[in-house]
Structure 1
Amino acid sequence: MMTIRSFLQRRCVPTAAWLTSACLLLAPIELSAQSDTVGDTTQGDALVAEYFQLETAALSTDVVTPGMTRDELEKQQAIDRSRLADMLGLDPMPERTPLNVTTVDSETRDGFRLERLHFQPSPGLYVAANLYLPLEVDEPLPTILYVCGHSRQIKDGVSFGNKAGYHHHGVWFARNGYVCLIIDTIQWGEFLGDHHGTYRLGRWWWNNRGYTPAGVEAWTGMRALDYLETRKEVDADRFGITGRSGGGVYSWWTTALDQRIKVAVPVAGITTLHDHVVNGCVEGHCDCMFMVNTYRWDYPRVAALVAPRPLLISNSDKDGIFPLEGVVETHRQVRDVYRLYGAPDKLGLQITEGPHKDTQELRVHAFRWFNRFLKNEDALITMPAAKSLDSSELRVFNPLPADERVTTADEWFVSKASQTSQSPKKRMQLLQEKTFAGWPSDSDRVSAKPAKIVTRSRDTVKCEMYEFTSQIPYRFQMFVLTDASNSQPIENVVIEALDQERFEQVGKGIGFLFQKEGGERQGKAEFDSLKAHLSKSPHSVFVFFAPRGIGATEWSRNERTRTHIRRRFMLLGQTADSMRIWDVRQAIAAVRQIPNLADGDLRLVGHRNAAAWAVYASLFDEPVNELELIDLAPTNREGLSLLNVSRIAEIDDVVKMAGERAKLIKN
């Protein structure tokens, strides 16, 4: 049996040098009763993997560039600090409202004092905390903010908070002359909020809002410092911060943004973009590990913002989610920053043997680092940090306050766009800068010049198949359909970008063209529908194509695999949808280079999400005369996933902008 796929496999002529293993083939449109469109995504999986490698390599640039001066570095870091705040949803910075600190109780234990308290970085954003102090405090002391990784401390349905899982750190610091505040996070704290929005909850609208729980944790850390500054036991000129795993990355966020922190020891909290995207570490991490990567950073750029303050990068050598190679590469780049500052002695790298675990070896070097830079001491560590308290002893809330906004932080922490806040011109600028910054630049944009591959006719339907490049390594097929019995001049060019559902419908009809006369009748009904559509539009030519991840380039249908493909796009400062919009732009450019199609009025058609691709694509480049939008989602939240878009405009705003350039047809 003949399929279009097998027809092109027989040709198998490489379309470009970068197609390393085989020619890029047409979508698997099956013409028999057994469809090969489902299940075989080998080609799409290979393409998206290659794409991720290429994009990651392009972003993996050193923080210190050749010839950079210290003055240039300082200016760049000021810009980067502002940009990081933006990517964490902290630009503008939230209002520093009253903390409403409440000390629930305090007690004296063996060698330390313990206070159970809570505060509110923003109204209703309750944070449960334990404060550890020495038994006697005669003068302000160096103070450690301990930020916690994920630690499930639940018994009989009650969560005591991840602060309880790391209490031994607080006890050690208090017994050794420090004040230490350990704070809960919104995930696995006494409140059970969420860090897993895109990881497993399908909350792709987090991207739209520019929301990441990393921003909440960074804000909580900064406000914790505000609280500590009010304590007479605290020397606010000697703040240190540490934490492991999730706490490691919160240490990075908070230290990068808040220069009150003088010494930092992030433990197992960073690796490179290459590790996350290419090597797959993203699949082991929830969203608190990632900023919304609007400015397309690699992670050493975050680490560089600690310089020139004392920094110990700490990790174990068998950590599967923060691999050794990425940690060492991060250190290499940050070392160049410290050297440019003339402070190489303030940067350390600790690698211990072991897995992703809170080990004694990791703790001891952290304690020595803080002693060295906060107390000017170099004594041996003789006291271990051993767990001594039951988790239930560290509970703060009983019951939880009814007015909490911890578990709904994703709904309010980052504000949505005001309906009147921006002019269309300003919104276009922001969309280009904050939503579509992951598109190729004008200088990197490849030619979309189409190449005709084959022409087929059946009955009165003529189909010409073209190929065009959207972005390396993506080369797409485009089907140009006309009524061969009609001699009327072409006045209208109708381009439809196909979602998967429409691809499978239209593909059957186009596939019927490639069957032998008298062969099987699979796709006859769909073909007849196309033929009727053509006969009703004698002055029109119809162009169909499927953007990346659909049809020929469809990637895995395994839901978990698809989730992490989408998250990889996110880490690259893109989304699958934003790059599909780019593909539509390139398809328009390709069509305009086909003889006889350059001058006709242009109509873009889309169903469901494809309607939104058409709307956004119509705002750029070639003028679009008409937009036909079928079943367009009414809100951003129900539609595409696009970075920061809800901070800029709702879909109604974008449709209005498009309507100023094109006639709108809504169905």
Structure 2
Amino acid sequence: MHITDYLIRIAEEITDQPLPSFSDLAEFQIWRKQRQTEFHKMIGIETYLHTPRTDLNVTRTGTLQREEFRIEKLYYESLPGLYVAGNLYIPNELDQPAPALLYLCGHSPTQKVSYQEHARRFAQLGFVVLILDTIQFGEVEGIHHGTYRHGHFNWISQGYTPAGAEVWNAIRGLDLLEELPEVDNDCLGVTGNSGGGSMSWWTACADDRIKVVAPSCGTGTIASHIREQTINGHCDCVHPNNPYGRSLIEWGALIAPRPLLIVSPDRDLLFSIDSVRLVYDRLKVLYQNLGFEDAISMMEFRGPHGYSPESRKSVSQWFLRHLKNQEAELEQIADFDGITEAEDDLLVFGGNPPANDRSTSVQDWFIPVAEAGKFAGISSSDELKLAKQKLISDLKAECFATFPEEPVSPSVVVRQQSLDNRNHWHHKISYQTETDIQLNGNVKGRLDTEHFPSPATIYFRSATEYRRQESISALEGLDEKWLKIQLDLRGIGSTSWSPELNWYVRRSLALTGRTVASIRIWDALQGIRAVRSLPHVDEEQIALAGKGEMAVVAMYAALLDGNIDTVILQDAPASLHMPGDGDGLDPATEVMNGLRYADLLDIATLLWPTRVVFLGDRPSFYQKAEDVHRRLGSPGGVWRVKTLAEWRTP
């Protein structure tokens, strides 16, 4: 199965997963709270939600007094040094606290300036409005386009998505609104367009203080994003991190039963209208079953990505109805009045943002990652065993949660048998890793090893090794008593894909809760099961070998399998925390959420008592792992050799 077919299949399986049925609203709320807690963890804000919130340090830099409202230019710190710039629109002569709206901007270079007419119109309708810039755009610099433009696929290993930072900034915007005497804290809503539409979804999913939601041009399904490749036009912030392979529809269900208006044009380049309709239809059934049928609606109109006058008025009508208890026909609601403020008048920093602005580095610190070398102090086998059990449990739950729950049988088939003139036999084999995923391999052994179990070394061929002979020669010098087995994992050999697909494949896999490395790790585990089933293999003496990105696969597979004799590593990467190529052509080593729990150094450390052989140059960054292996001694150990001929196996 080609990788694009596989991606579409799993994306459709995720999207087609039905929402649970609930006997009543109370049962739904229990489920919703559980999923919401999971959602907080997915986007990386769980730590901030469960620690005392830092001072917002709201600073006002100017006020524009207008006939119907005033505009306060302000900024606040959502976390120390993480500055958020915005404009606060407050209607004049309020005689009681008013409903408030959070307006979240899309990817316009001038953000709150470009979208000012929306805030202006809501203020004219009697709403307090806080309109916010995002990181990278507006007045605050930073990076949203991590994997999209800059090759920061290490964000996937960190579990970082700009959606997390933007949702947190919005949550702190709600905190700011709640402190205002002009605001009715029981009547808060959120809306926005494009990226701001997506953030409206995710902010409402994350924070129950939001009572009414109206996302515009920010709705779709994982199936549509991958099948129609609309993901190729999406900034990283559009999608939360998805380690559990959840459906976007399931996330959207977290808003129920609060009033939700989905706004979408029918000719949107970035969001297929069929997918928007599907989201609405599925959520409407949920709302109906909960007894809140009137709390969900969809406004569809002819047009490209963006608003129409009718869609803007529909959003106004929705908030009037559900936040102000005012009914109005669309023709009674005015659209923009054509008045705008000059850009310089709305700027908060006036071109001089704070010198200590941490927005430029938020991707480096927003998600706490595990300290490299955290297992370096292990001094006993019992201590290591406990640490290994805990790490494997965490990895399975948070990094490899989308591994198949019921593995298919590897179903090894010998495709061809042959002999060479050097007293070796060869078997070409195939094995199954997932439904419709068949992979290939080669087994080579000395003639006198064909009829009794022998130790076996499995070499995972990399994408740069095209010929079978070259792959087997990578094990040159290995003791002849060892069978030499080459396995092609996905993306190698007959299942390879062209390099120009790498960027799409890596980003799409992440949307489904997978990575290139993780599907290869699964293939490796299935390959190990396949090899153990061969009659001429000693299943207690299996070694794994890999070079470059395949060294990462070999380490994780050995750790998860738990019964590997030796791991042979060549040119092993130093870390998962390294940005790559903007076109996705660098080695695909990302492991979803991997850095939250352990970097490669720590994976190597906990491989003991599996023996570790570093082939080639001495990688000094694994020294702490070597120290632990030496401390614990036999049966583990670390060897550093120039060729495998230098390694004498027991």
TM superposition score category, shorter chain reference: 0.7 to 0.9
For residues 80 and 599 of structure 1, do their structure 2 counterparts lie closer, same or farther at Cα, with a shift above 3 Å needed?
Answer: closer
Instruction: Spell out the pairing of 1:386-535 with structure 2 (5 A cutoff).
Output: 386=338, 388-398=340-350, 399-418=352-371, 420=374, 423-441=387-405, 443=406, 445-460=407-422, 461-484=424-447, 491-501=454-464, 503-504=465-466, 506-509=467-470, 533=476
Query: What residue in structure 1 maps to residue 88 of structure 2?
Result: 131
Q: TM-score, normalised by structure 2?
A: 0.87
Q: How does 1:517-556 map to 2 (within 5 A)?
A: 533=476, 537-556=479-498
Tell me by how many angstroms 1:62 deviates.
4.8
Aligned length: 588
1:653 corresponds to 2:580: no
Amino acid at match of 1:469: Q
Query: Structure 1: which amino acid aligns with 2:511?
Result: L
Q: CA deviation at 1:576?
A: 0.8
State the distance in 2 between where 1:176 and 1:614 align: 61
**Alignment correspondent of 2:512:** 572
2:132 equivalent among 183, 186, 197? 183
SS of 1:295 mapped into structure 2: coil
Corresponding residue SS for 1:620: helix
- Is 1:151–2:112 an aligned residue pair? no
Contact 2:463 2:493 in 1 (8 A): yes
**Deviation for aligned residue 1:616:** 0.7
The answer to whether the 8 A contact 2:15-2:249 is kept is no
Match runs of 1:544-623 below 5 Å: 544-558=486-500, 561-599=501-539, 601-621=541-561, 623=563
Cα shift at 1:270:
1.3
Secondary structure of the 1:152 match is coil
Q: 1:190 to 1:116 in 2, by over 3 A?
A: same
**Which residue identity does 1:234 align to in structure 2?**
V
User: What letter matches 1:397 in structure 2?
Assistant: F
* Cα separation, partners in 2 of 1:597 and 1:345, compared to 1, 3 Å: same
1:217 maps to which residue?
166
The amino acid that maps onto 2:410 is A
Tell me whether 1:664 sits opposite 2:617 in the alignment.
no
Stretches of structure 2 lacking an aligned partner (at least 5 in a row): 376-385, 579-586, 616-650
Structure 1, residues 59-92: CA drift from partner, whole Å, max 9, x if none? 2245533565433322111111001111101122
How much does 1:486 deviate?
7.7
For 2:306, which of 350, 357, 364 is the aligned residue? Answer: 357
* Alpha-carbon separation, structure 1, partners of 2:493 and 2:23: 46
Opposite residue 223 of structure 1, the aligned amino acid is: R
Aligned to 2:232: 283
Task: Specify which of 31, 34, 48 is matched with residue 93 of structure 1.
Answer: 48
Q: Is the 8 A contact 2:104 2:133 kept in 1?
A: yes
Shift of 1:279: 1.9
| 1:167-178 matches, cutoff 5 A | 167-178=116-127
Per-residue deviation, 1:649: 0.9
* 1:238 aligned partner, one-letter code: C
Q: Aligned in 2, Cα 1:600/1:255: closer, same or farther, shift over 3 Å? A: closer
Cα distance per residue 1:93-148 (max 9 Å; x no partner): 35410001000010212432111000010011101100112232222111111011
Q: 1:71 to 1:174 in 2, by over 3 A?
A: closer
Output the CA distance in 2 between the equivalents of 1:619 and 1:572: 24
| Range 46-55 or range 114-123, more displaced | 46-55
How far, CA to CA, are the matches of 2:456 and 2:502 in structure 1? Answer: 34
**Is the CA contact 2:419–2:425 (under 8 Å) kept in the aligned structure 1?**
yes
8 Å Cα contact 2:452/2:536 also seen in 1: no
Distance 1:509 1:310 in 2: 62
Aligned partner letter, 2:28: L
- How far, CA to CA, are the matches of 2:505 and 2:180 in structure 1? 47
What is the Cα deviation at residue 543 of structure 1?
0.1
Cα distance, 1:406–1:66 mapped onto 2, change above 3 Å: closer
Range with bigger deviation, 257-266 or 57-66:
57-66
Q: 1: distance between equivalents of 2:436 and 2:148?
A: 27
1:6 is matched with none
Post-superposition Cα deviations, 1:127-171, rounded to whole Å, max 9, x if no partner, equal 110011223222211111101111023xxxxxxxx1111000111
CA-CA distance at 1:49 after TM superposition? 1.9
Q: Is the 8 A contact 1:463 1:481 kept in 2?
A: yes
**Which residue number corresponds to residue 155 of structure 2?**
206
Question: Is this contact kept in 2: 1:51–1:472, CA < 8 A?
Answer: no
Alignment match, 1:116: 73
Moved more, 164-173 or 331-340: 331-340
Describe the SS at the equivalent of 2:189: strand
Secondary structure, counterpart of 2:252 in structure 1: helix
Letter in 2 for 1:476: L
Q: CA 1:118/1:433 → structure 2, altered by over 3 Å: closer, same or farther?
A: same
| Structure 1 residue 479: Cα displacement | 0.5
Moved more, 294-303 or 412-421: 412-421
The AA in structure 2 aligned to 1:196 is H
Relative distance call for 1:143 and 1:109 in structure 2 (3 A) is: same
| Structure 2 CA distance for aligned equivalents of residues 658 and 54 of structure 1 | 34
Larger displacement relative to structure 2 (483-492 or 356-365) = 483-492
* Contact 1:83/1:295 (8 A) holds in 2: no
Distance 1:68-1:467 versus aligned 2 partners, 3 A rule: farther
Confirm or deny that 1:76 pairs with 2:37: no
Which residue of structure 2 aligns with residue 523 of structure 1? none
Distance 1:83 1:485 in 2: 55
Q: Report if aligned partners of 1:603, 1:625 keep a CA contact under 8 Å in 2.
A: yes
Distance 1:599 1:144, change over 3 A: closer
Note the residue ranges of structure 1 that are not aligned, 5 or more in a row.
Answer: 1-45, 154-161, 511-526
CA distance in 2, matches of 1:318, 1:357: 10
Tell me if structure 2 keeps the 8 A contact 1:478–1:543.
yes
1:572-627 alpha-carbon deviations (Å, 9 max, x no partner): 11101001011111111111111211446111111111111111111233611111
1:351 partner letter: E
Paired AA for residue 47 in structure 1: H
The question of whether the paired residues in 2 share the 8 Å contact of 1:167 and 1:387 is answered with no
Q: Which moved more, 1:94-103 or 1:112-121?
A: 94-103
Q: Provide the secondary structure at the position in 1 that maps to 2:82.
A: coil
1:329-383 Cα deviation digits (max 9, x unpaired): 1111111221222111111111111110122121000001111111111234443
- What is the distance in 2 between the residues matched to 1:107 and 1:276? 42
SS in 2 for 1:449: coil
Q: Is the aligned partner of 1:629 residue 2:577?
A: no
TM-score, reference length from structure 1: 0.85
CA contact (8 A) 1:47 1:473 kept: no
One-letter code aligned to 1:413: F
CA distance in 2, matches of 1:580, 1:622: 17
Q: Which residue of 2 is the match for residue 383 of structure 1? A: 334
Aligned counterpart, 1:104 = 61
**Secondary structure at 1:128 match in 2:** strand
**Secondary structure, counterpart of 1:163 in structure 2:** coil
